Amino acid sequence: MVLENPKKSSHEIQYQEEIGRRLEKYCRIKDIVCNKGSGIGMKKMGFTEKRLYKQYQVAFYLACAAHKGQYDKGGLDYICHPVVVATYIQENMEPSKKRDRAMVAAMLHDTLEDTLITKNALKCFGFSKRIIRTVVLLSRDKGEDYGAYLDRLMVSRLAMIVKCADMADNENLNRLEHPSQRDINRCEFYRSGRLRLERQLRNNTIFL
């Protein structure tokens, strides 16, 4: 009788559970944004300001369209990643306008870097200057040194909050069916960057 590798079996279970959680979060947000009235949606999402909830709705629709046809490293539709990042912020911050803005920016955080959406397009969709500025900051330039990129984020608490949530999701090896040593090294890399930003957030007083 040949026994399965217990470690492998355990990860496979964790992977399936993680994929299920990610899809569940996406379906929940989609149902709220698409099928619920603004008042109910605001309450369910914990938004404090109607204007920002409206921006969140637009951000969800825009991100779904912009990332269509893209997939994450686990093979899911890419939209699941910004949804998870926004949900992470929702679950780890107290209700406030700052959290509202962070959730909107989280939904858009990869649009300028990874899709055809432009800064001018974000203006046309009615996003506030603060949201657009945050998304621009979060967009890493091609060839930009990662350390310099993180330094650039430190002028904005809002950008740092979103980036910490982004890196927390990128650290999650359970979203990968067969994580390699390269994936493990990347996880440690993201964790180091996240801890650096979190230290700065505890000490930083700059608000953008």
* Domain ranges across the chain: 10-203
Residue among 2, 13, 124 at smallest CA distance from 62: 124
pLDDT value of position 192: 96
CA distance 109 to 116: 13
Residue among 23, 47, 45 at smallest CA distance from 97: 47
Exposure string (b/e) for 161-197, b if CB count within 10 Å is 16 or more? Answer: bbbbbbbbbbbbbbbbeebeeeeeebbeebeebbebb
Reported pTM: 0.92
DSSP 33-78: HHHS-HHHHHHHHT-S-HHHHHHHHHHHHHHHHHTTT-B-TTSSBT
Structure-token pair, residue 188: 């440690």
Report the residue count for the chain.
208
pLDDT single digits (tens) 32-58: 999 999 999 999 999 999 999 999 999
Q: Residue 112 above 60 pLDDT? A: yes
Structurally, what CATH architecture does the domain formed by 10-203 represent? Orthogonal Bundle (1.10)
Q: Percentage of residues in the chain with pLDDT exceeding 70?
A: 94
CA distance 117 to 70: 14
